[in-house]
Amino acid sequence: TEESVIFRDFTFTNWFNLFLCFPCFRSIAGAMSTFFTTNRHGYSVRFSPFNPDQFVVASSQFYGLAGGGTLYFLELTPDGCGIVEKRTHHWTDGLFDVTWSESNPEIIVSGSGDGSVQLWNTNLSSNNGPPSMVYREHKKEIYSVDWSKVPYEQLFISASWDSTVKIWDPIRNNSLSTYIGHTQLVYNAVFAAHIPNTFASVSGDGFLKIWDILCYDLPIASIKAHDGEVLTVDWCKHDSNILATGASDGLIRIWDLRNFGVPITELKGNEFAVRKVQFSPHNFSVLASVGYDFTTRIWDFKKSNEAIETIKHHSEFTYGLDWNRRRRNQLADCGWDSLVHVFKPDCLSEKI
């Protein structure tokens, strides 16, 4: 698959040597805060839904090809210009995604290369301690985990390279249901922001599928979204009918469930695969993306099909991306260069 053949010889520029001794350092002129995950390569970053200064990074040794994984619990300094490490937790295989509980600020769920899902309770686990629960049903790597945004749904979802998606209740050892419909590895599955019992999934088979969790035999909608592998999907936070997909063809497509046959627009400009796309929680038509061209791009699909800002502050594949729900227009990203950045894009500085 596209994802499994992208590995190559990795090199770092000399200035990275500076970071080896300074895992926490301050931004230049307060524009950006940066953290260095020594000997770990970033795959996912998520802000806390409860505290605007807290976020977690899922990372892997050796670019996820071998070795273990580490969760970094990080916090912005009171002046917002630095990042400090609060605690870490380690796993025996690479960690590829992480999500925060929507009901408990101490609960984190991660997915790993050995096909297991880990639940971490920071109230119960000491620094570097083991997870509170481990769920083992998937047969291959778990590349995506997500927690339901609907308050009464205490559920999370996992998507795997075994071509399945599973729904979990965190207090049960076994999954509630398994969704089989994709013919190739599933890269991403996310709950709808405002529609109960609903999630979207995307796969190496090129399809975007919409599911009702109570009807797991077949998706309620399905479309060939891209010619290549679809690596990422997200729901608009302001309109439950709008979704975005990103794929190995470098394209981002915006979809409307009310007219699902064709995309309402196509965003162009990425040189290589789009690894992650996410709608802003603060602006209806604004979204961000990261990809294999080492960039983070900001888009406004109502204004243009080209990026309104292209940010080049990584030197390897950029994998993780998240908007801060609690702080307007603030983003975090991470990549294989071991850098985690927290910043506000210049193009959004005047949006209120």
Identify the residue whose tokens are 């965190």: 170
Record the tokens describing residue 97, joined without a space. 């995604």
pTM exceeds 0.75, yes or no: yes
Domains, in order of start, for the chain: 31-347 (2.130.10.10)
pLDDT of residue 30: 40
Confidence of residue 217 (pLDDT cuts 50, 70, 90): confident
Provide mean pLDDT across the span 68-84: 95
pLDDT of residue 9: 31
* pLDDT: which is higher, 103 or 22: 103
Give all strands (DSSP E) within 128-269, no chain letters: 133-136, 142-147, 156-160, 164-168, 177-180, 186-191, 198-203, 207-212, 221-224, 230-235, 242-247, 252-256, 265-267
CA distance 347 to 300: 10
289-320 residue pLDDT tens: 999 999 999 999 999 999 999 999 999 999 99
The closest alpha carbon to 333, from 286, 291, 304, belongs to 291
Range with lowest mean pLDDT among 78-87, 130-139, 163-172, 175-184: 78-87
Record the tokens describing residue 109, joined without a space. 């769920």
CA distance 118 to 91: 9
